[in-house]
């Protein structure tokens, strides 16, 4: 079931453990792609502003595939943030810690995962009372090793690593106690998306869940 209240979003993402990054190549693929995510057991889409179809795509998904929870990604401006919420997004993900967007989101009870890469970014979030952030670009900034190091001074923080995360290293990331979910395009393989092979996308989502689900369960035990 899709998220309906803002306070439900982060626990929901933590329960799923996987956040697919979706960059729409056309408006026509929005609905079948979302349906593939739902079929694959990962009914959430971080629809990015890397595409001009972001806003209209989210509107179509919200109207026609209501079981998929929408999050807007690669949000660079406050106007994009506001338009995303109007289009049906339940939260925001930014590539950097953009204070104007973060503060607006906090003031308006909009869940946001700001991009962090270094301790100063993480501390900006911490000082605002935030405990969930994005870690980007994960592999380029030391990946698992850096996240382990950040757990010392920021033991209360939980991260969504994206950037270089794949099926090959998914288990390494999701196993970390300060990682609540992993994100990336691996649940939506570019080759499958390019030809509209939605069955392959659904299978990639199932493969992703097969990796993270038992690890998440063991972390809760």
Chain segment 5-18, per-residue pLDDT in tens: 889 999 999 999 99
Annotated catalytic residue 168 = no
Residue 4 clears pLDDT 90, i.e. is over it? no
Chain segment 187-201, per-residue pLDDT in tens: 999 999 999 999 999
Give the domain range for residue 208. 6-220
Q: How far apart are CA 22 and CA 187, in angstroms?
A: 9
Axis crossing angle, helix 99-107 with helix 119-127, rounded to the nearest 10: 30
Is 1 contained in some domain?
no
CB 101 within 8 A of CB 78: yes
Provide the whole-model pTM: 0.96
* Residue whose structure tokens are 């998220």: 3
The domain that holds 13 is classified in CATH as 3.20.20.70
Is 85 contained in some domain?
yes
Is 184 contained in some domain?
yes
DSSP 138-155: TGGGTHHHHHHHHTTTTT
Catalytic residue among 38, 46, 60, 158: 46
Is 43 contained in some domain?
yes
Annotated catalytic residue 134 = yes
Catalytic residue among 29, 60, 90, 134: 134
Cis before 63? omega within 30: no
Q: Read off the pLDDT of each residue in 72-85 and give the average, rounded to a whole number.
A: 98
Residue 1 clears pLDDT 80, i.e. is over it? no
- The tally of domains found in the chain comes to 1
């Amino acid at each position: 079931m899709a998220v309906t209240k803002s306070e439900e979003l982060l626990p929901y993402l933590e329960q799923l453990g996987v956040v697919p990054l979706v960059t729409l190549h056309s408006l026509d693929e929005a609905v079948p792609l979302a349906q593939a995510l739902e079929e694959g057991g990962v009914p959430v889409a971080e629809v990015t502003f890397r595409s001009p179809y972001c806003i209209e795509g989210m509107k179509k998904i919200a109207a026609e595939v209501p079981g998929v929870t929408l999050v807007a990604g690669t949000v660079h401006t406050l106007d994009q943030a506001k338009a995303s919420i109007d289009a049906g997004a339940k939260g925001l993900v930014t590539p950097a810690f953009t204070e104007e967007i973060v503060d607006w989101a906090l003031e308006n009870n909009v869940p946001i995962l700001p991009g962090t890469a270094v301790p100063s970014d993480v501390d900006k979030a911490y000082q605002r009372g935030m405990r969930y952030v994005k870690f980007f670009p994960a592999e380029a900034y030391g990946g698992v090793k850096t996240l382990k190091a950040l757990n010392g001074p920021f033991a209360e923080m939980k991260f969504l690593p994206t950037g270089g995360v794949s099926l090959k290293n998914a288990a390494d990331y999701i196993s970390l106690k300060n990682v609540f979910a992993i994100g990336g395009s691996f649940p939506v393989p570019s080759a499958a998306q390019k030809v509209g092979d939605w069955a392959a996308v659904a299978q990639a989502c199932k493969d992703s869940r097969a990796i993270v689900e038992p690890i998440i369960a063991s972390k809760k035990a």
